[in-house]
Amino acid sequence: MGRVTNVVLILIAAGLSLWSFNSGAVGGVSLPEHAGSSDQNLAIVVNLANSVSDLSKVELRTIFLGQRSYWPNGRRITIVMLEVGHPERKALLQEVCQMTEKDYNNRILHGLFTGELFVSPKTLASPTGVRKFVFNVPGAIGYVRRSDLDDTVKVLRIEGKLPDDPEYPLHVDLRGVK
């Protein structure tokens, strides 16, 4: 009798676990409705006059870490970042720079101190500000969510993929975002 009861309890627990896994209700946090859709992909944007149209993740990392300072046309690269706390900034640090916020700040400070970086990245308050900055500065590079894109900026291919493509490599993790 006791063994039967244990088997039943184990089966119930296994069924609940399987249901929880399939519904995504992990840790009691639910994803937004559009999580996983292409709108949440992180688009890398440059000025319309920029001739570059395709970058690899590695090239992107060297640019955002200040290890590369000029575009092929000779224009100085100006990095545009959103303020701390934006999920887009977090996604870029995680997926491109593979760093935490603290590591990234240390890296930038180090680069400025050593002269590797000419100017610190420009920090803007909103995706609109990022777009306007990139529109005004020919050598600027920034990032916005795909849903914040408009025709004032140019979207780069990353690893040959555009944000609309299913296998686009950069995503904004909106879990925990209210």
The verdict on 138 binding other proteins (CB under 8 A) reads yes
DSSP-derived 3-state class of residue 123: strand
What is the CB neighbour count within 10 angstroms for residue 152? 13
Instruction: Give dist(CA 110, CA 105) in Å, integer.
Output: 8
The verdict on 78 binding other proteins (CB under 8 A) reads yes
How many residues sit in the footprint of other proteins (CB under 8 A)?
15
Stretch in the footprint of other proteins (CB under 8 A) among 15-23, 126-134, 155-163, 164-172: 126-134
Amino acid at 160: G
Nearer to other proteins (CB atom), residue 75 or residue 171: 75
Least distance in Å: CB of 118 to other proteins?
9
Q: Which of residues 5-64 bind other proteins (CB under 8 A)?
A: none
**Cα Rg for the chain, rounded, in angstroms?**
21
Least distance in Å: CB of 122 to other proteins?
5
Length of the chain as a residue count: 178
The verdict on 132 binding other proteins (CB under 8 A) reads yes
Nearer to other proteins (CB atom), residue 132 or residue 157: 132
Q: Are strands 140-145 and 122-124 parallel, antiparallel or unpaired?
A: unpaired
The verdict on 123 binding other proteins (CB under 8 A) reads yes
Residue 44's nearest CA partner among 161, 173, 123 is 161
The verdict on 69 binding other proteins (CB under 8 A) reads no
Residue 54's nearest CA partner among 150, 148, 162 is 162
The verdict on 124 binding other proteins (CB under 8 A) reads yes
Least distance in Å: CB of 25 to other proteins?
39
